[in-house]
Amino acid sequence: MAAKKRVELPIIGWREWVKLPDLGINKIKAKVDSGARSSSIHAFNIKTFHRDGEQWVRFSIHPIQRSKMDALDVEAKVLESRSIKSSNGIAKIRPVILTKIELLGKIWEVELTLASRDNMGFRMLLGREAFRNRFLVDCGRSYYGGKPEKQKKTNTKNRT
């Protein structure tokens, strides 16, 4: 029996900054969770509607952790509605969208469930189906893809 050829996969940490270009998100911190099958993003004001005979969803996102400022309003085609069991064991039907994600210079499509993650530590959860056969996870490190530059605060006080 021939040995399998070993493929070297890039390494990511247990949390990473990712981009979601189709949703207009240049940076959102995601928890990389190999224990979760699916990926999820914090969404609120979720409203489904029909466009050209297909189901769509309109929702809002706060991409920055612990901030309710700079909400983004987004529309996406619904891939399906799926029963998802949360970490507390309760299953709920959630809309699922398909969107592009960028991490470590790689871009691919990922399924995201829309859920209220207000009480969670991260606005986005990257489940194992999203990074399977793409990355290995170093559970002891973070931000292999780097951290975004912090915006400098402007001084609003008058200088005389």
14-40 pLDDT per residue, tens: 999 999 999 999 999 999 999 889 999
Question: How do the domains of the chain map onto residue ranges?
Answer: 12-138
Distance CA(58)–CA(50), nearest Å, equals 11
Query: Do strands 136-138 and 44-51 pair parallel, antiparallel, or not at all (unpaired)?
Result: unpaired
50-93 pLDDT per residue, tens: 999 999 999 999 877 666 667 889 999 999 998 877 667 778 88
Asked whether 113 and 94 are in contact (CB, 8 A), the reply is yes
12-138: CATH architecture:
Beta Barrel (2.40)
Asked whether 144 and 13 are in contact (CB, 8 A), the reply is yes
User: Residue 104: beta bridge partners?
Assistant: none
CA 85 to each of CA 45, 94, 124: distance values in angstroms, whole numbers, following the listed order: 21, 10, 16
pTM of the model: 0.82
